[in-house]
Homo-oligomer: A and B are copies of this chain.
Amino acid sequence: MSAELWLQALQEHGYRLTESRRAVVEIVAASSRALTPLEVFDLARAAHSDLGLVTVYRTLEKLEELHLIQRVHQPGGCQAFLAASQGHQHLLLCQHCGQATFFEGDNLDQLFATIAQKTGYVIKDHWLQLFGLCQNCQ
């Protein structure tokens, strides 16, 4: 269902609603795992066969700019995109099927305070990401 919301958001930011964008948005919004531009291209062409790979790149760029999707960093590569978390959440990824799940975990402040004190850094941001096996893949 987020596909419609994303299209609406694009429109509200002055972008036009096109067949190509719709095809891309519907694939990415429906996926529970991060997809590379090429994967999006292949999947979205089922709905809109004369879609160009270039348009996939351009649409992903706009979705990222509106914070509707986010890039996912993995040992195997950092080109894949996923529907963004709402608020500050962390990612849990299945190493077998790629399934992504967000979780909250913000009792980390104590740790950060300790690190800041020990190192003299001012801490501005953090990345926490877990890897494992989802229920289906164990």
Contacts and interface: CB of A to CB of B under 8 A. Distances in A.
A100 to B, nearest CB: 11
A135 B123 CA distance: 11
Contacts of A94: 121
A72 B94 CA distance: 21
Q: How many chain copies does the complex carry? A: 2
30 contacts: A73-B127, A78-B78, A92-B115, A92-B121, A94-B121, A95-B125, A101-B119, A101-B121, A103-B115, A105-B115, A107-B111, A108-B111, A112-B130, A120-B134, A120-B135, A121-B130, A121-B133, A121-B134, A122-B132, A122-B138, A123-B130, A123-B132, A124-B133, A125-B130, A126-B129, A126-B131, A127-B127, A127-B129, A128-B128, A128-B129
